[in-house]
Structure 1
Amino acid sequence: MNKYTILKWEKLLLWLIPPILRKKTHADWLNVLLSPIRSIYEETLYKMQHTGQVIYLEKILNETFNPTKNYNPNASIEQKRLDELIYIDESVKPTLQYVYLHKEYFEPDRILPDGTKVKGELLIPQLKIYNHDEYKNRDNKPVYLAHRKDYTTIAYANFRVFIPESLITNGTIVIQPNNNETQSAASPIKVANIEFHNLLNFYKLAGKSYESYSYSPEVLDK
Structure 2
Amino acid sequence: MNNYTILKWEKLLLWLVPPILRKKTHINWLNVLLTPLRSLYEDILYKMQHTGQVIYLEKVLNETFNITKEYNPNLSIEQKRLEGLIYIDESIKPSLQYLYLHKEYYDPDKTLADGSLKKGLLRIPLFQIFRNTEYKNKNNKPVYLAHQEDYTKVNYANFRVFIPADIIKSKTIDIETTESNYKLQSEAIKIATREYHDLLNFYKLAGKSYESFAYSTQD
**Which category describes the TM-score, using the shorter chain as reference length?**
0.7 to 0.9
Paired position in structure 1 for 2:203: 203
Task: Write the deviation string for residues 141-176 of structure 1: whole angstroms up to 9, x where unpaired.
Answer: 8x8443221111111111000000101111111111
Q: TM-score, normalised by structure 1?
A: 0.77
Equivalent residue letter for 2:36: P
Specify the alignment match of 2:29 in structure 1: 29
**CA distance in 1: counterparts of 2:61 and 2:130, whole angstroms:** 44
RMSD: 3.1
Q: In the superposition, relative to structure 1, how do residues 187 and 42 fare at CA in structure 2: closer, same or farther (>3 Å)?
A: same
Q: Give the whole-Å Cα distance in 1 for the aligned partners of 2:177 and 2:64.
A: 23
Q: Percent identity?
A: 66
The residue identity in structure 2 corresponding to 1:189 is I
Alignment of 1:58-207 (within 5 A): 58-97=58-97, 125-126=126-127, 128=129, 137-139=132-134, 144-177=144-177, 186-207=186-207
Distance verdict in 2 for CA 1:207–1:85, change over 3 Å: same
- 2:184–2:215 Cα contact (<8 Å) kept: no
**How far did residue 178 of structure 1 move?**
6.4
Q: 1:178 to 1:29 in 2, by over 3 A?
A: closer
1:20 Cα deviation from its structure 2 partner: 1.5
Q: Residues of 1 paired with 2:209 and 2:154: CA distance? A: 13
The answer on whether the counterparts of 1:77 and 1:87 sit within 8 Å (CA) in structure 2 is yes
The answer to whether the Cα contact below 8 Å between 2:184 and 2:213 also exists between their aligned partners in 1 is no
Question: 1:126/1:54 Cα in 2 relative to 1: closer, same or farther (>3 Å)?
Answer: closer
Q: Check conservation: 2:87, 2:161, Cα contact below 8 A.
A: yes
What amino acid sits opposite 1:138 in the alignment?
A: T
Q: Provide structure 1 residue ranges, at least 5 long, that are not aligned to the other structure.
A: 106-115, 117-121, 131-136
TM-score by length of 2: 0.78
CA distance in 1, matches of 2:210, 2:85: 17
Within 2, Cα distance between the matches of 1:182 and 1:43? 35
Q: 1:124 and 1:34, CA in 2 relative to 1: closer, same or farther beyond 3 A?
A: farther
SS at match of 1:71: coil
Separation in 2, partners of 1:22, 1:182: 60
2:20 is the alignment partner of 1:20:
yes
Return the alpha-carbon distance in structure 2 between the equivalents of residues 66 and 129 of structure 1: 41
Tell whether the 8 Å contact from 1:99 to 1:127 is kept in structure 2 after alignment: no
Tell me, in whole angstroms, the C-alpha distance in 2 between the residues paired with 1:190 and 1:138. Answer: 36
1:4 aligns with 2:4: yes
What is residue 133 of structure 1 aligned with on the other side? Answer: none
> Counterpart of 1:51?
51
Asked if structure 1 preserves the Cα contact closer than 8 Å seen for 2:77 and 2:87, the reply is yes
Distance 1:183 1:86, change over 3 A: closer
Q: State how many pairs are aligned.
A: 197
Query: Cα gap change, 1:67/1:28 in structure 2, threshold over 3 Å: closer, same or farther?
Result: same
